[in-house]
Amino acid sequence: MRAKVLGVLFLMLTLLALCVVLGLKVFLVRHVAVNGLVRWDPAVVEELAALSMEESVFQVNFRQVRENIEANPYFEVVYIGFSLPDTVVIELRERQQSAAVQFGGETLIADEDGFVLESRPALGDLRVPVVSGLELLGFEAGAKLEAAQPLQMDALRLLLLGLREEELLQSVAEINLGNPSAMYLMTADGFTVELGNIENLAKKLKWFGAAWAVLVSEGKTPGIITVSTGDAAYYRPAQEGGEGLDLLPDDSSGDEPPEGDAEPLAP
């Protein structure tokens, strides 16, 4: 009886081992599915992943594949796994070029989170806002910018996210964060946008977008749009010749409407 039980166990173990061997030969990597890309070719990710085709999907070192892909700062791996019988699935978040920062003779290209994607000698034809007034402690490609004032990075993140949401990112030429209480933007067509402090930035950007569209449609000359209250937008032309823009002073909180002949605007 005991011999019979041992025989059955041996047979079961043999069959299990055979299934594993056959499985390793059947479930081989033959395809890679890359999802989440916007600008990049999936072939670039497949090359970075350095997967060994004809290797069992059960033997893929997913941790190493993740490290291989994220060596390129533009990619963040959200998920990696397999779909039987023969496909490795890679879900990505592609970091977007959202801002440029000048530092040490280099132009740093960063995403909305301040994550440095690359450094280049000049901006070239890339249409993203140049961030001025940001005091950096240093930078490293593949890491976030380090600023002397953390509030500046908080403001930059909210601004970039808001500008992208309002589809205004490529219309802004400069973001000045020199004074977090009196931040301002410069549009590519010459308008100055006074934002004030970090409070209610989403509302301020909506006012900016609506007011700017009205001004452009009416053929107004570039001047100053003030949205620092978060409850309205005001416009006043620049002084003759474009000199002496009446920007908020450094010690202003930016929470008062402009003085003088400012024209209130409604979206």
Query: Is the C-alpha dihedral spanning 216, 221, 227, 231 positive or negative?
Result: negative
Q: Which of 81-85, 141-145, 152-156 has the lowest mean pLDDT?
A: 141-145
Rg of the chain's alpha carbons, rounded to an integer? 28
SS3 65: helix
Please name each of the domains of the chain with its CATH number: 27-94 (3.10.20.310), 99-265 (3.40.50)
**Lookup: tokens for 63:** 């941790």
Can you tell me the mean pLDDT for 87-104? Answer: 95
d(CA 189, CA 173): 8
- Predicted pLDDT at 140: 79
Peptide bond into 85 cis (omega under 30): yes
d(CA 145, CA 107): 13
Indicate the pTM of the whole model. Answer: 0.77
For the chain, the average pLDDT equals 84
